[in-house]
Amino acid sequence: MSEKTFVSDIKAIRERARKHIEQGAVTEGYKANRETVINLLNDALATEIVCVLRYKRHYFMATGINAQGVAAEFLEHANEEQGHADQIAQRIVQLDGKPDFSPQDLLSRSHAEYVEGDTLAEMLKEDLIAERIAIESYRDMITYFGNDDPTTRRVMEEILAVEEKHADDLSTLLEDMDIVH
Ligand SMILES: [Fe+2]
Ligand SMILES: [Fe+2]
Per-residue pLDDT tens digits for 30-44: 888 999 999 999 999
CA of 64 to the centre of ligand 2 (A): 23
Let me know: does 107 contact 86? Beta carbons within 8 Å. no
Q: Which ligand is nearest to the CA of 81?
A: 1
CA of 3 to the centre of ligand 2 (A): 43
List, for residues 99-147, the tens digit of each pLDDT value: 999 999 999 999 999 999 999 999 999 999 999 999 999 999 999 999 9
Mean pLDDT of all residues in 72-77: 97
Let me know: does 174 contact 117? Beta carbons within 8 Å. no
CA of 41 to the centre of ligand 2 (A): 16
CA of 94 to the centre of ligand 2 (A): 23
User: How far is it, in rounded angstroms, from Cα 26 to Cα 22?
Assistant: 9
> What number of CA atoms fall less than 13 Å from residue 121's CA on the CB side?
7
Enter the pTM of the model: 0.89
CA of 166 to the centre of ligand 2 (A): 5
DSSP code per residue over the chain:
-PPP-----HHHHHHHHHTTGGGTT--TT--S-HHHHHHHHHHHHHHHHHHHHHHHHHHHH--STTHHHHHHHHHHHHHHHHHHHHHHHHHHHHTT------STTHHHH-SS-----SSHHHHHHHHHHHHHHHHHHHHHHHHHHTTTSHHHHHHHHHHHHHHHHHHHHHHHHHHHTT---
